[in-house]
Amino acid sequence: MAKVKSLADLKKMKEQLQSKVDLREKGEDPESRVQIKVAMATCGIASGAKTVMDYFLEELDKRSIDAVITQTGCMGYCYAEPTIEVKLPGQEPVVIGYVDVKKADEIIEKYIKNGELVDGIIPMNYNTIDNQ
């Protein structure tokens, strides 16, 4: 990886990365991928987030669903760990709590495949600096 040599470099890199992310997130293309973020901070891992993440990685592959699964930090809903965020192309992301392997299977079958919401959705309850 080339070093970032100046602020201009950094800004250019940001633009590139941003458009890559936008493409992924906004999902203009209906065939675009499903995105899953697993909250993998200590509290998440302690409640089994690692198992859930592994399950998603394996199962989505098995079931031939094109998805990006990433880890992320604490979403703040410690009472409902493990929590994951699922974003279907072109839709608002949905946060689901108390996810175990059984729940993960339900999420894949119902929500990811058919867009049916499942129990245990956590309403997002904060503002971000972006939409301030």
Partner 1 sequence: MHMLVCGGTGCRASASDAIVETLNSELAAKGMENEVQVIMTGCFGFCEKGPIVKILPDNTFYTQVTPADSAEIVAEHIVKGRKVNRLLYTDPENKEHISDSKHMGFYKKQLRIALRNCGVINPENVEEYIARDGYQAIGKVFEMGAQATIEQMKKSGLRGRGGGGFPTGLKWEIASKNHADQKYVVCNADEGDPGAFMDRSILEGDPHSVIEAMTINGFCIGATKGLVYIRAEYPLAIKRLQIAIDQAREYGLLGKDILGSGFDFDIELRYGAGAFVCGEETALIHSMEGERGEPTVKPPFPAESGYLGKPTNVNNVETFANIPVIILKGAEWFSAIGSEKSKGTKVFALAGKINNVGLIEVPMGTTLREVIYEIGGGIKNGKKFKAVQTGGPSGGCLTEKHLDTPIDYDNLLAVGSMMGSGGMIVMDEDDCMVSVAKFYLEFTVEESCGKCSPCRIGNKRLHELLERITKGEGTMEDLDRLRNLSHVIKDSSLCGLGQTSPNPVLSTLDNFYDEYVAHVTERKCPAGQCKSLMQYVIDQEACVGCTACARNCPVNAIAGDRKKPHVIDTSICIKCGACIEKCKFNAISIQ
Partner 2 sequence: MSHVKVELKKEDVAKIKEICKTFHNNPGELINVLHKAQSFFGYLPAEVQEIVAVELNIPVAKVYGVVTFYSFFTMLPKGQHPISICTGTACYVRGAEKVLDEFKRILNVSVGETTPDGKFSLGCLRCVGACGLAPVVMVGEKVYGRVSPDGVKDILKEYE
Residues that bind partner 1 (CB under 8 A): 1, 3-7, 9-11, 13-14, 17-18, 20-21, 37, 39-43, 45, 70-80, 85, 97-98, 116-123, 125-129, 132
| Interface region with partner 2, contact rule CB under 8 A, candidates 28-36, 42-50, 54-62, 102-110 | 42-50
Q: Is 80 in the site for partner 2 (CB under 8 A)?
A: yes
CB 68 within 8 A of CB 30: no
Q: Any contact of residue 46 with partner 2 (CB under 8 A)? A: yes
Residue with tokens 């699964």: 69
DSSP secondary structure string for all residues of 31-80: TPPEEEEEE-SHHHHHTTHHHHHHHHHHHHHHTT--EEEEEE---S-GGG
3-state secondary structure of 1: coil
Q: What are phi and psi of 24, to 5 degrees?
A: -70, -45
Q: Work out what residue 47 binds among partner 2, partner 1, none; the CB cut-off runs from 5 to 8 Å by kind.
A: partner 2
Rounded Cα distance, 53 and 91, in Å = 22
For partner 2, the closer of residues 32 and 72 by Cβ is: 72
74 versus 101: smaller Cβ distance to partner 1: 74
* Residues counted in the chain: 132
Query: Residue 70: which of partner 1, partner 2, none does it interact with, CB under 5 to 8 A by kind?
Result: partner 1
How far apart are CB 53 and partner 1 at their closest, in Å? Answer: 12
Q: Which residues bind partner 2 (CB under 8 A)?
A: 41-43, 45-47, 77-81
